[in-house]
Structures are given as C-alpha cells and as structure tokens.
C-alpha cells in the first residue's frame, strides 16, 4: 500500500509539471532521440566513470550543508519548483496568475522537452548511484520508485536546463543568473545521490536538443512571443 501511494504521488508530480493539462508541441518520436546522438553511459572501468564516482563522493559531502538543503528541495520535479527558483533570477514572480502566458509556455514546452530523455532512459536503464553503492540518498522517499526508472540522462536536469534556456529568451539581460540557477538544479541530483555526473551532463544536452526542436514549431513560436510581450513590462 505504501509503495502504491508513493508511486501514485510521484506519477502526479511528474505528469503535471503543473496544474493544467500540457499541450505538447511534438510527440516523443518527433523529439531528437538521445540514443542516436549521445554516447552510451560510461563503462565502469573507464576514466569517465572514475569521475562520476568522484563527483558522487563530492555530492555526499554537501548533504549536511546549506547546499544539501537546496538539493533536497530541488527533488521537486515540477513547474512550481521552476517558478520558485527562477523568479529571483528573472526579477519578477513567475506564476499561473502573475505571468499566465509564460506559465503556459513553461508547462507546454517543458513537458514536450521531457520526452527527450525517455528513449535513452529505457534503452540503457542505467542503475542510479545509490543503487550501485547500496547507500541511502538525501531523499529516501523517492528511492523505491526511481529504482524502476533509468538514470541516464537526468530528467530533472532536462527540466531545469530547458526552463533556463527558455527564460534566457524571455530575459536575456539576466542570462548569467538564469543559467546559474539551471546549472545548479542539475547538480542537485548529484548531491542527492540520484544521478551520476554524466547523467546530469547528458540531461543538459537533451534539453538543448529539445529546445532547438521546439523552435521549429509555429505554435511554440507564437506562445514564446506572447510570453516575451507579457514579461517585458515586468523586467526592471
């Protein structure tokens, strides 16, 4: 029963990046396939995996610090979390009521971009760090459900970096702070023990590929223009 409730709660958190039904700009088969353009996850005997391991140990050392508290909060996979962490970076409050056009853009675009990790996750089904080392994570309540979801690429990172790239187009004058927030959201998954560093790096690449594809959609372009117009009056 406990497992079922946890699965259900995670399902609703993931499907809704939101409180409204997303309108996808593309299907999963139209979004770039990461199995084709990304390298496979590092072999456990490789130098790349040695770096993954070193970064895992780095992440564990952050858990008892304020950065660890941030990483725990960043386990929230939703547009609501994106609004919370990116609002200070853009200089205004992102929300369904305060910025409805931007909110719609983020809901629809990030949901579509989330497809960018699906095929690679299923293809490689890479075990997560806490499974490999058989150690607890920073967010133990998510461990059982995420055992059944591949680690590579990182979906959280894909969400954070997609949001950052979109917001840079809304507020280019705040680009550096926006990108810093997006970068740190991905690193939080290393700290929490849910992703290898190479998963996070790959998640940024899948997000970049997805956003590039989004720009070929006329519906996306129209919504982006609406969001830009709405937000220009709020930028100080």
148 annotated active-site = no
Active-site position among 156, 174, 204, 213: 156
Active-site position among 108, 199, 204, 213: 199
Active-site position among 111, 189, 204, 213: 189
Would you tell me the crossing angle of helices 66-73 and 175-192 to the nearest 10 degrees? 90
Active-site position among 126, 128, 174, 195: 195
Distant-in-sequence contacts of 219-224, Cβ < 8 A, 24+ apart: 219/23, 219/25, 220/25, 220/105, 220/108, 220/109, 223/101, 223/104, 223/105, 223/108, 223/109, 224/105, 224/166, 224/169
* 95 CB neighbour count, 10 Å cutoff: 15
199 annotated active-site = yes
The span from the CA of 182 to the CA of 162, in Å, is 8
Would you tell me the crossing angle of helices 155-170 and 100-113 to the nearest 10 degrees? 140
195 annotated active-site = yes
| Residues designated catalytic | 156, 189, 195, 199
């Amino acid at each position: 029963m406990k497992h079922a409730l946890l699965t259900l709660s995670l399902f609703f958190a993931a499907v809704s990046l939101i409180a409204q039904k997303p309108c996808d700009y593309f299907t999963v088969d139209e979004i770039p396939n990461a199995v084709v353009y990304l390298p496979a996850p590092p072999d456990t005997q490789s130098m790349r995996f040695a770096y993954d391991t070193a970064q895992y140990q780095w992440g564990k050392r952050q858990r008892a610090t304020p950065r660890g508290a941030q990483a725990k909060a960043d386990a929230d996979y939703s547009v609501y979390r994106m609004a919370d962490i990116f609002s200070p970076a853009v200089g205004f409050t992102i929300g369904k009521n305060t910025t409805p056009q931007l909110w719609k853009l983020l809901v629809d675009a990030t949901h579509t971009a989330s497809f960018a990790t699906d095929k690679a996750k299923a293809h490689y089904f890479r075990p997560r760090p806490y499974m490999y080392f058989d150690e607890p994570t920073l967010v133990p309540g998510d461990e059982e459900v995420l055992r059944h979801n591949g680690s590579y690429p990182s979906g959280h990172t894909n969400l954070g970096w997609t949001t950052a790239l979109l917001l840079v187009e809304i507020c280019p004058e705040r680009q550096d702070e926006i990108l810093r927030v997006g970068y740190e959201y991905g690193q939080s998954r290393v700290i929490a023990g849910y992703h290898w560093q190479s998963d996070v790096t790959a998640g940024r690449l899948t997000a970049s590929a997805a956003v590039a594809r989004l720009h070929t959609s006329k519906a996306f372009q129209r919504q982006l223009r609406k969001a830009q117009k709405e937000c220009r009056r709020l930028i100080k």
